[in-house]
Amino acid sequence: MAGPLAPGLKKPLHIGLLDKVPCWLFELDESQTQEPSGCNWSEIRPSISLLDAEEWRAVACSLTLLWWRKNHRFCGSCGTETVEGTEERVLCCPNCGALFYPNQSPAVIVAVTKDDALLLAHNSHFHPEMHSILAGFVDPGETIEETVARELREEVGIEVKNIRYARSQPWPFPNSLMIGFHAEWQSGELKPDGVEIKFADWFTRDNLPALPRPGSIARMLIDEWADKR
């Protein structure tokens, strides 16, 4: 980026190449509601349906770096204001030398089947009609397969078997990496925890409720199940 920054723009971050073109993250002042010249505002979550994997990678990288920079303005060890590293992407404490690299929080998401039906649940944070497969953050000390088993036990009271890794997707809300699985019901009746999960049931292919947006890992895992005959 050559030349002085326009008013309202903070220091940009280089996030990599997209189709061999350098991409930069610009953070605007919250007071700046006017679109910069030649740009359009776009809501981030709906855009996942419109972007390919490479474009989503750029969006996810940007949001995660923005979150990292905002949340490490001061050293968590001694409280001194951090400075950006010159040799690598890191925030450094000039007082105690602590380094803060961009980090991601792993979470699992799992499509559980029982005969020809799929487990879908309504989460209290969802839109009223929407149902999806279950997800949750990895606890310290857990393997990701253990997280899958624990989340299903805690949120809907079932045990699963044949937990198989399927795919992953950066999920920058604010800094997750979603790790997707397929699994099969083993035992237990569905008992939603009533806090996070308000409703859960088994749905067949001809009886599906409103689902997550195409492009999301949740929808990809659901579609993989639906396409399997």
Our finding on whether 92 is near Zn ion (CB under 5 A) is no
Our finding on whether 32 is near Zn ion (CB under 5 A) is no
> Between residues 78 and 210, which has the closer beta carbon with respect to Zn ion?
78
Q: Hey, which residues between 52 and 81 contact Zn ion (CB under 5 A)?
A: 75, 77-78, 80
Our finding on whether 91 is near Zn ion (CB under 5 A) is no
3-state secondary structure the chain: CCCCCCCCECCCEEEEEECCEEEEECCECCCCCCCCCCCCCCCHHHHCCCCCHHHHHHHHHHHHHHHHHHHCCECCCCCCECEECCCCCCEECCCCCCEECCCCEEEEEEEEEECCEEEEEEECCCCCCECECEEEECCCCCCHHHHHHHHHHHHHCCEEEEEEEEEEEEECCCCEEEEEEEEEEEECCCCCCCCCEEEEEEECHHHCCECCCCCCHHHHHHHHHHHCC
Q: Quick one: which of 5, 96, 99, 210 contacts Zn ion (CB under 5 A)?
A: 96
Our finding on whether 95 is near Zn ion (CB under 5 A) is yes
Our finding on whether 44 is near Zn ion (CB under 5 A) is no
Q: Hey, which residues between 140 and 159 contact Zn ion (CB under 5 A)?
A: none
Q: Quick one: which of 23, 25, 61, 93 contacts Zn ion (CB under 5 A)?
A: 93
> Between residues 32 and 95, which has the closer beta carbon with respect to Zn ion?
95
Q: Give the residues lining the site for Zn ion (CB under 5 A).
A: 75, 77-78, 80, 93, 95-96, 98
